[in-house]
Amino acid sequence: MSENCLFCGIVAGTIPSTQVGENDRAIAFMDIAPATPGHLLVIPRAHSTDLRETAPEDLAAITLLAQSLIGRVIERLDGATGANLLSCIGPDAWQTVFHTHLHVIPRYPNDPMVLPWQPHAGDMDEIKAVSAKLV
């Protein structure tokens, strides 16, 4: 538990939230600044800054809870045809709350959410050079 963490306050019940699911290690609640209708967050109960710090048991718990919620999102929300599962790690990757969380973002035909990444063919020499640093 981190004293100044918004999400730790939600876990503790001192900050209100609209919860939609839980398990023994994780909770899920509606995002108050949704990208699309039904946007929710899944967090571990234990504080960790991001996925790099998250205990394996907590990572499994948030992933399994997110999986079940993705099914509900697509089945129960009128017009939802898919979902994005997103984890932002660090300020340059849009992380604004530094407690591990997964965004479950319902997707609808012609919804307003646009990510800045537009896939295009990469330079294969660069791809191979970068991959060499990761193996």
Q: Supply the pTM of this predicted model.
A: 0.90
Residue 1 lies in a domain: no
Q: How far is CA 76 from CA 58, 101, 127, in A?
A: 26, 23, 40
DSSP codes joined into one string, 41-64: EEEESS--SSTTT--HHHHHHHHH
Q: What is the pLDDT of residues 73-117, one digit of tens each?
A: 999 999 999 999 999 999 999 899 999 999 999 999 999 888 777
Q: What percent of the chain has pLDDT over 90?
A: 83
Domain of residue 85: give its range: 6-134
Residue 21 lies in a domain: yes
Residue 89 lies in a domain: yes
Q: How far is CA 9 from CA 40, 76, 119, 133, in A?
A: 17, 29, 38, 39
| Catalytic sites, residue numbers | 101
Count of domains observed in the chain: 1
Q: What is the pLDDT of residues 119-134, one digit of tens each?
A: 788 889 998 999 999 8
CATH code assigned at 64: 3.30.428.10
Where b means 16+ CB within 10 Å and e means fewer, 50-65 reads beeebeeebbebbeeb
> Average model confidence (pLDDT) for the chain?
94
